[in-house]
Each structure stands twice: as structure tokens, then as C-alpha cells.
A and B are shown apart, each in its own frame.
Chain A
């Protein structure tokens, strides 16, 4: 199968790069690019394949990060077991929000706004209750060991993230080819027609939401392990939601490799502008924003859309 071969090639290339490079800068770059890819690919499962635009994916990210932190700090639970709990908790939050939103038939901007509102509710709750550390946040003690899910070099995190991204790519490839994926895309393209064919739109969208939330939760848990710190603004603030949806949309929604390309392109762009114009606060983000507007203006289907346009031009040319 073509997708499986492409994913295998991707893992080998990125894995080799992570093992070959020794400089902290290069390893950091690989780590953060993979992290951005994981966010974008998680969003893509619900947003790209399910057509449900979430503005509040930080909700699942933050749930994962906080459960990961609280399980270890308050429960004394092993880091890897906590990762499982974090993923489970994020999926449960995804099931709850998805069930409410889809049961009441929210779509389009209404769905986007309700996810944003839930993220805000969770942010305010995390600020107010004692066991999340309120505004101070939670800090994880640093004990670098693979069994503890902490590493003394970015390489360890890069390999961990590569594993997660590979899993996300495999699930996305499955969405492309499986019966469930076909049903999900049918619901996205025309819900009434899909229902007429005997597909249950509620169950289909809900499953995609849970899947997407679970990967977001994993990203949150790994974020906590990388930086050993979480607070309400990082966990549930809009930054992560925006990063996830930008990567997926800029790269190309509803494609396997679009989110990978988008996350990489945005990461390179923000690194570049920060290094070139870092002396002036704000100018790097001004350029980032302008480039975003330009990309949307001239590449309405994302970066992956260019490849498709070129291919159809080429095939059209041969046929003509």
C-alpha cells in the first residue's frame, strides 16, 4: 500500500535525522516540528476528515496535560501509566463535548464557538480550583529517565513524538481507506445524503471527535513531560488551539501529508522570523501574520493543494 510505504519512509528519514544530529539546535528543531505536526494531525482527524471546525482543541490538550501532571504529583502514578490516563481523560472530554454538540446538531461556526467556550470554562476552572495549582500552575520535578518519560536530551522526546506522529499518520491513513473513514467523509460532504444511506452521523462524528481528542491529550501529556510545567493559560488558552488548526489548514485539510507540511512550514517560518528579527519585539509575529494572509490568499487549498493542482495540470496536459 502506498500510504504505508510513505509513512515507513517518513519514520526512517526523521528517525535517522534524530539519531544522526548531535547539535541541540537541530534536535530541538526536530522535536518542536514533530510536536507541531502531532497537534495539526490530531485537529485534522476531526476538522479535515470530519468537517467539524474546532477553535478550542486546547480543551483536550489541556485536559491531557493536567491529568498527566495530577496523576504523577497527587497520585504518585508511574509516568507511562499517567500517559494512558491522560489520553483516556482527553478522549472522555472529547466524548462529552462531542455528544452534547452533535446531539443538539451544532455545526459550522456554532460548533467552533462551543469548543472555544468549553476551553474557556476549563481555563477558568483550572484557575480557580486548588488541585490544579490555580494561577501558579503545576511543576513536575525533573528526573530524567526513559521509565519516567523524561529525557536529558531533546532526542528522547523527538523519538517519543515520532512514535506518536507515526501512530497519528497510521490512523489518518486508516481514515482515508477504511469503511469508517468513508462514512466520516460522506457525513462531512453531505450529512443528509449520508443519513439516507444508513450512516449514523452522530456516532460517526462523535467517534472522530474522541479520536482527535485522544491524540490532542497525548500531545498535552508530552508537552508537560518536555517542559515540566503547565498553567491554565498554556493548557486551555487559545495559542494551542490556533497552532493545531493553522498547521492543518495551511498544509491542507483532509489530506494525509498536509498537516505534516503545514506544521513544518509554519514552524520554519516562525523560527526564521524570530532569528532574523528577534531584536524588535513583535516584528516577527507581524511577518508571520502577513505570510499567513498571503498563503490563504494564494493557496486556498493549502500547501498540499499545490501538489494536487500541479499534478492535475500535468495529467490534463498529457491528456490534451
Chain B
């Protein structure tokens, strides 16, 4: 059996990585989980947001956390416009067309980034990038060291999940989103502007990525390909958490982070990832409503 003093830091690391996964997946929960738009440009959109934070930091000297309001607003506007102007028109109401359009958008975004920033991997330098926090290990082993930005990201994921839950459950917009998700025609007859609701949802979904990018970059890096690693993980978490459940996505993200971290510890870094997808396949086959979802 593994020593607890190795297992515990690995568990904490998994939880903080999982919080970042959860942040990325929360936006997709609204887009895919509620409205069933298969957004293949989700990873590429995250990549754009990361470059946004990068530019604000290196050119204007903004702290990534202070850039949060601007990034959220900017990504919301991008998402609203993309859904309203491009995706909605191109989809003709067919799933395979949405898939193709978002795929095309992802290709455009990734290669625009390649053109503008080259393929180099970049990261930013902040006073707290290398700062760590000691977390005491239970049962008397030495304390675990966790990077401060990762702990902040953990808090950020909780806050974003709570905010999304509040928007969907308590606001008029949230009621409209749920109505459109359940019964599009009926919602239209009730006077809901369906296209506007779709665009708002897409905008909020990308706004989450804006927030995720601000929490992510201090402890991470950016290159034009960085988003592709997040796409399947994000879809995994949305399904795992139960389609459209924000608390489920949060728990699912944390679970995936822990599985990856412990899997990496037991099987080595490359093979450790396999656990994520095996869990995903098992959930798809045996519990498609998700681990935390209600039976549909």
C-alpha cells in the first residue's frame, strides 16, 4: 500500500487540478448539458481567453485576477455574437451542422492564434506564481505543499458554480433557459425569444471560460494547442456530473482531477490518464444520466 504521506499531497493536487477542470466544464454544462449544443470550439475558446489574460498581463501589466471582469465581459460578448451570428445561422437546426461549424470555428481560432503568437508555449510571471501553502497532513505525516494559484482556482470554481446555479434557478433568464431546454416550441409560444436565450446561454458558457482563464494562467501556460487537451475532459465531466447539473459538474471535475492524479501516481503519467476515459466509458454505458444526475 502506498504511503499516506505520498497519497495525501497527490489527492490535494488532484482536487486543485480538478477544480480547474470543473471551471472549464461548468461553461460547457450550460451549452451542452442544457441546450445540447455540441461545442467543439470550447477548448479553442479557452485558449483565446488564456491569450487575452496573457496580453493584458504582459502588455498592460494587469494582474490576472484583476483582469477577471474584463475577460468575463469580453468572452460573454464573443459567445453571444458567435451563437447569434454564426452558429445559429449555420446549424439549420441539425446536430451534425453544429458540430461542423464549431469544428470550423475551432480550426479558425487555433490557427489565428498560431499566426499571431506562433506555436511557442508562454506563461506569465506573477509574485504569487511560485508561492506555496502548507497544508497539514492528518495522521502525523509532514505537511503537503500546494501552489497558491491552485488554491485560489479551487475557490474560484466553487464561486462560479454557485453563481451559475443562482442564475439558472433564481433569475428570469434562468427560467427562460430551462423552459427552452425542455420545450422549445412551447417556450416560443410563451413569448420567450428563443434565439436570444440560446445566445445568452452560449455567452454565459464562454464567460465561464473567461473566468477560468484568469484562474488558470498564473499556474499554467498557453499555446495555440492548449485547449484541445481540455475538450474531451470537459465533455467527460459534463456527462459524469449529469447533463446540465452544475453541482454535478463541480463534483465530476474534482473526481476526474483526483482520478488523474492518483492514476498518474500508480501507473505513471501517460497511462494514468486512461482512468479518466475508462470511467467515462463506464458511465456512458451504465449510468448515462451521470453519477449525480436524476434518472431521466
Query: B5 near A: Cβ within 8 Å?
Result: no
Closest chain B residue to A116 by CB distance? B232
- CB of B115 within 8 A of CB of A283, answer yes
Does A163 sit at the interface, judged by CB under 8 A?
A: no
- Which residues in A have their C-beta under 8 angstroms from that of B271? 124-125, 127-128
Q: Which residue of B lies closest to A129 (CB)?
A: B271
Contact A286 B96 (CB under 8 A): no
Binds B, one of A150-158, A195-203, A291-299: A291-299
- Judge whether A285 and B107 touch: CB under 8 Å: yes
Q: Which residues of A contact B103 (CB under 8 A)?
A: 242, 246, 292
Interface residue? B2 (CB, 8 A) = no
CB distance from B172 to the nearest CB of A (A): 29
- Among the listed B97, B112, B118, B280, which residue makes an inter-chain contact with A286, where contact means beta carbons less than 8 Å apart? B112
Whole-angstrom distance from the CB of B227 to the nearest CB of chain A? 12
Taken together as a complex, chains A and B put the C-alpha atoms of A238 and B232 apart, in Å, by 11
Q: How many Å from the CB of B205 to the closest CB on chain A?
A: 16
A127 CB contacts on chain B under 8 angstroms: 270-271
Q: Say yes or no: A117 contacts B280, CB within 8 Å.
A: yes
Contact B115 A280 (CB under 8 A): yes
Interface residues of B in 158-195 (CB under 8 A from A): none
Which of B84-92, B143-151, B248-256 interfaces with chain A? B84-92
Interface flag for A106 (CB, 8 Å): yes
- Report the minimal beta-carbon distance from B268 to chain A, rounded to whole angstroms: 7
Interface-lining segment among A8-16, A64-72, A107-115, A178-186: A107-115
- A246 engages B281 (CB within 8 Å): no
Q: Quick one: which of B90, B268, B284 contacts A114, CB cutoff 8 A? A: B284
User: What CA separation (Å) do A310 and B130 show in the bound complex?
Assistant: 64
Neighbouring A residues of B104 by C-beta, 8 Å: 289-290, 292-293, 296
Closest A residue to B103 using CB positions: A242
Q: Is there an interface contact between B286 and A286, defined as CB atoms closer than 8 Å?
A: no
| Dominant secondary structure at the B interface | helix
A106 CB contacts on chain B under 8 angstroms: 284-285, 288
Of B94, B97, B232, which is within 8 A of A120 by CB? B232
Q: In the complex, A253 Cα to B96 Cα: how many Å? A: 10
Q: Does A276 contact B (CB under 8 A)?
A: no
Give the CA-CA distance A120 to B115 in the complex, in Å. 28
**How many chain A residues touch B (Cβ–Cβ < 8 Å)?**
42
Number of A-B pairs whose CB atoms are under 8 Å? 126
B162 to chain A, nearest CB (A): 27
Distance in Å from the Cβ of B222 to the closest Cβ of chain A?
16
The contact of A108 among B95, B105, B277, by CB within 8 Å, is B95
Tell whether, in the assembled complex, residue B100 and residue A246 are in contact, meaning their CB atoms are under 8 Å apart.
yes
Q: Which A-chain residue is minimally distant from B40 (CB atoms)?
A: A55
- Main SS of chain A's interface residues? helix
CB distance B239 to A113 under 8 Å?
yes
Q: Does B108 touch A at the CB level, under 8 Å?
A: yes
Pick the contact of B114: A135, A246, A282, A296 (CB < 8 A).
A282
**Is residue A61 within 8 Å, beta carbon to beta carbon, of the partner chain?**
no
Contacts known (A117-B281, A289-B105); A53 close to B96, Cβ less than 8 A = yes
Do the beta carbons of B107 and A292 come within 8 Å of each other?
yes
Name, among A53, A112, A282, the residue most crowded by chain B CB atoms within 10 Å (CB to CB): A282
By a CB distance below 8 angstroms, the chain B residues around A124 are 270-271, 273-274, 277
Q: Do B284 and A117 touch (CB < 8 A)?
A: yes
The answer to whether A282 and B115 have CB atoms under 8 Å apart is yes
Contacts of A296 in B (CB 8 A): 90, 97, 100-101, 104
- Interface assignment of A100: CB less than 8 Å from any CB of chain B: yes
Q: Could you tell me if A289 and B108 are in contact, using CB atoms closer than 8 angstroms? A: yes
User: Are B281 and A121 in contact, with the CB atoms below 8 A?
Assistant: yes
Q: Which of A135, A289, A300 contacts B97 (CB 8 A)?
A: A300
Please measure, in the bound complex, the distance between the C-alpha atom of A118 and the C-alpha atom of B236, giving whole angstroms. 12
With both beta carbons as reference points, the residue of chain B lying nearest to A253 in the complex is identified as B96
Complex interface residues of chain B between 103 and 161 (CB less than 8 A to chain A):
103-108, 110-115, 118-119
B38 within 8 A of A: yes
Q: Name the interface residues of B264-286: CB closer than 8 Å to any CB of A.
A: 268, 270-271, 273-274, 277-278, 280-281, 284-286
Min CB distance B116 to A, Å, is 8
Contact check, B111 vs A285: say whether CB atoms are below 8 A apart.
yes
B268 adjacent to A128 (CB under 8 Å): yes
Interface residue A288 (Cβ < 8 Å from any Cβ of B):
yes
Which residues in window 19-39 of B have CB below 8 A to A? 32, 36, 38
Any chain A CB within 8 A of the CB of B235?
yes
Which chain A residues border B280 with CB–CB below 8 Å? 113-114, 117
The answer to whether B277 and A117 touch across the interface, beta carbons within 8 angstroms, is yes
Binding site for A on B (CB under 8 A): 32, 36, 38, 86, 89-90, 92, 94-97, 99-101, 103-108, 110-115, 118-119, 224, 228, 232, 235-236, 239, 268, 270-271, 273-274, 277-278, 280-281, 284-286, 288
List residues of A whose CB falls within 8 A of some B CB. 53, 100-101, 104, 106, 108-110, 112-114, 116-118, 120-121, 124-125, 127-128, 135, 238, 242, 246, 249-250, 253, 280-286, 288-290, 292-293, 296-297, 300
19 residue pairs of the A-B complex, CB under 8 angstroms, read A104-B285, A110-B239, A112-B38, A113-B284, A114-B284, A121-B277, A125-B274, A246-B103, A280-B115, A285-B111, A285-B114, A286-B115, A289-B108, A290-B104, A290-B108, A293-B105, A293-B108, A296-B101, A300-B94
Closest 5 CB pairs of A and B: A289-B107, A282-B114, A292-B104, A289-B108, A282-B111
